[in-house]
Amino acid sequence: MSYCVSPYRYQRRRTREIWLGDPKKGGVIIGGDHPVVVQSMITADTMDTEACVRETLALVEAGCQVVRITAPTVRAAANLRNIVAELRARGCLVPIVADIHFKPEAALEAVQWVEAVRVNPGNYADSKKFVVKEYTDEQYAAELARLEEKFTPLVLACKRLGRALRIGTNHGSLSDRILNRYGDTPLGMVESALEFARICRKHDFHNFKFSMKASNPKVAIQCYRLLVERLAAEGDDWNYPLHLGVTEAGDGEDGRIKSAIGIGSLLCDGLGDTIRVSLTEDSVHEIPVCRAILECIPALTRADLQVPTDEVPFAPFEYQRRPTVEVELAPGLRCGGEQTIRVVVPRAAWQVLASRIPARADVRPEGAYEDLRIAEVDPREDFDLPTDALLVTVRDLPDLPALAAFRLLAWRLRRAGRRNPILLKDTLQPPQPLLDSQTALLRSAIVLGALLADGIGDAILVRNESDPMSALRLAYNILQAAGCRTFKTEYVACPSCGRTLFNLQTVTARIKARTSHLKGVKIAVMGCIVNGPGEMADADFGYVGGAPGKVNLYVGKKPVKFNIPEEEAVDRLVDLIREHGKWTDPEPLPDSDASGTSSVSCSVSSTA
C-alpha cells in the first residue's frame, strides 16, 4: 500500500462522509466528493459571549465554513450554549467546534451545545509528566483501559446527540506512554490517534476525522502520509477524512510559506478534506490564504498525466535527502553532495541584482541559469547523461506540472543509478500574464517546498514571482521554511485563541524587533503550552505564557525561568540568549539599495 495512488497523477483520496450539524440546516458535510472545507478559530475569551459572536460572524463573512472555539474549563464549555444560541438567533448556522485539552468533563459539557468536539489524544486522558518509563505489555494494556474509560463517555454522547469528533494529534503533546514506546515520531502521532479511533469504532461511532499537526512542515507531511498508509492497511472502512494544517506557522510571508508547503503538498497528493492556515494574525486573514491555496492545486496537478511508473522515488515517511555528487555551480561555489541547497536566478535577474547586493550578503543569487553547465531533459522519456558530475533539470514543458516532473526525474535518475544533482524550478511555464504576489508565493512554496520535503533538489529557481528582488527573497524563505537552509532568525509562533495569556501579535512583533538579526537562532512564541513544548519544534528558546501577565522562558523544550512579569519578559529573553552564547549585536543597516534584503538578515556570507 501507499499513501496516494500516484506521486505524479492527481487523484483525491476518497473518504467516507461525516457531518457537522444537519446539512439541511446549515451543517457541513466533509469528505466523499464534497469540496475541501475551510475552517478557522476565534481568539476571544470564551466567557465573553458578545466578543465570540462578533469574531465568529466576521469569520463567516470572510468565507469560513467551520469555526472552532476553545473550552478550557467546564464553565467555558457551558457558555458555548449562550454563544451558539446568540449565533443562531442572528441567523448564523455555521457549525461550531469546541476545542478541548486536559478536561474530559469540559468535553462532556461542550458536546451538548456544539456540532463537533476536537480532542487532543496527548492530553485528553493523560497528564504529561515527562516520565521515562518502560511499559510492560500488561502495563500498557492497563493504560489503554484507563484511556478507554475516560474517552468512552464522550464517544457515546457524540453518537447519541449526532455530533462529530476530530481526533487531533499534535507533535508537541504526545503522552508519556506514547513517547516511551514510540518516541517523538510520526509513528507515535499515528498510534496515538489510532488508539482513540479504535474506541470510537468499538462503539460503532464513525462520525470523526483525524488531524496530525506539527509546526515543522516536513514532520506534518510525514505524519499525514503515514496515517493514510496505516488507515488503508487497517481496512477499506477506515477511510476517515483528514483535517490539514501546519500549527504555529507564524505570521506574514513566513507563515504563508510554511502553510503552503505543509498543506499544499498534501493537497497535491490528493489528501485533505478540511484545512486551516494557522497565522499569528487576526483569524479573518487566514481565510483568503486557505482559499488561495485551494485555488493553486488544479494549476499544479493533472489527473490524466501519462507516466511510465507510479513508484514513489523518495522516502515518504521520513526525511532523506537524495544522495548526489558535488558539482561546481560557479567559481568557488559548489552544489550537491553535502553542500547547502543553492539559489539560482535567470540571467536577466542576475544583471539587475548583481549591482544591488553586497558580495557577502546572505540573500544573494548564486548562479545565473542560462550560464550554468546543465542538462535539460524530459523525464517522461529515457535519457542518457555523460557523467554524474552534471547538474540536471527538467526542460520547460508547458503541459507537465513541475511537481510531478521533478519527482519523475528523481525516479529516472534512481532507476539509472545516477547521482546527478537536480536544479528545481517552481514552474515549467513562466506565467503569462504575471501572477499576483500572493499566488506566486503560494505556488512556488507548494512546488519547491513539497520537493524539498521529499529530499529532492540541490538548487532552486523561482520564476513565478516576476520582481527579481522579491523572487530572490522568496527562494531563501522557502529554503528556510522547508528546513533546508538558515539565513535569518526563525520564529515558531502560534495563532491566538481563547487560551492565550498575552497579545501574541504585539509580543511577537516586540520580540522580532529585538532579535531579528540573530541568524540561525530559532525562537518560539507561544500563548500557552497547551499543545506541549514539542510544538516549539527544535526552537533554541521559547517565550511561553504561564499565567495571566506572567511568562515562562524555555531553552529548547526545558523551562528555565518562571513567572516573569510580561513587561520584563522580552528583556529577560534577550538575557537568556546572551547567557547561552547566541547573542550578537545588530549591525547598522547599509544605506544602499540592498537594504530591502538586509531586512531579512543580510550580514555575512552563508555556505551552510
pLDDT band at residue 450 under the 50/70/90 scheme: very high
Q: What is the mean predicted confidence (pLDDT) over 246-252? A: 81
pLDDT band at residue 601 under the 50/70/90 scheme: very low
Q: 459 and 553: one domain?
A: no
Work out the mean pLDDT of the chain and round it to a whole number: 90
Domain end residue (candidates: 452, 487, 522): 487
Place of cell 506512554: 177
Question: What is the pLDDT at residue 530?
Answer: 64
Q: How many domains does the chain have?
A: 3
Question: What is the pLDDT at residue 501?
Answer: 64
C-alpha to C-alpha distances, 96 to 62, 163, 178, nearest whole angstrom: 16, 11, 30
The Cα–Cα gap between 461 and 448 comes to 9
Q: 443 and 511: one domain?
A: no
- Of 293, 252, 259, the C-alpha closest to 599 is 252
Q: Is the pLDDT of residue 339 over 90?
A: yes
Q: 524 and 483: one domain?
A: no
Question: What is the pLDDT at residue 283?
Answer: 92
Q: Terminal CA-to-CA distance of the chain, rounded, Å?
A: 37
Q: Is the pLDDT of residue 2 over 50?
A: yes
pLDDT tens-digit map of 343-374: 999 999 999 998 898 878 889 999 999 999 99
Question: What is the pLDDT at residue 533?
Answer: 59
462 is a domain residue: yes
Question: What is the pLDDT at residue 317?
Answer: 95
477 is a domain residue: yes
Q: 47 and 137: one domain?
A: yes
Q: 88 and 135: one domain?
A: yes
Spell out the residues 6+ positions from residue 532 whose beta carbon is closer than 8 angstroms to its own. Answer: 122, 123, 128, 170, 172, 173, 174
CB 426 within 8 A of CB 460: yes
**What percentage of the chain has pLDDT greater than the value 90?**
68
Q: 61 and 150: one domain?
A: yes
pLDDT tens-digit map of 521-558: 888 887 776 655 556 667 889 888 878 888 899 998 78
Q: What is the CATH number of the domain that holds 57?
A: 3.20.20.20
pLDDT tens-digit map of 63-93: 999 999 999 999 999 999 999 999 999 999 9
Domain end residue (candidates: 243, 277, 299): 243
311 is a domain residue: no
pTM of the model: 0.90
Identify residue 597 by its one-letter amino acid code. Answer: T
Q: Is the pLDDT of residue 602 over 50?
A: no
Question: Is the preceding peptide bond at 433 cis, omega within 30 degrees of 0?
Answer: yes
Q: Is the pLDDT of residue 600 over 50?
A: no
Q: Is the pLDDT of residue 21 over 90?
A: yes
The domain of 376 spans: 327-487
Q: What is the mean predicted confidence (pLDDT) over 319-338? A: 94
The Cα–Cα gap between 257 and 474 comes to 9
Q: 441 and 535: one domain?
A: no
Q: Is the pLDDT of residue 40 over 50?
A: yes
Q: 210 and 75: one domain?
A: yes
The Cα–Cα gap between 214 and 435 comes to 30
- At what angle are helices 186-202 and 137-161 packed, to 10 degrees? 60
Q: What is the mean predicted confidence (pLDDT) over 380-388? A: 95
pLDDT tens-digit map of 107-163: 999 999 999 999 999 888 776 555 657 888 888 889 899 999 999 999 999 999 999
359 is a domain residue: yes
pLDDT tens-digit map of 462-511: 999 999 999 999 999 999 999 999 888 888 776 766 666 677 788 888 99
Q: What is the CATH number of the domain that holds 509?
A: 3.30.413.10
The Cα–Cα gap between 209 and 315 comes to 26
Q: 516 and 456: one domain?
A: no
Domain end residue (candidates: 181, 212, 243): 243
524 is a domain residue: yes
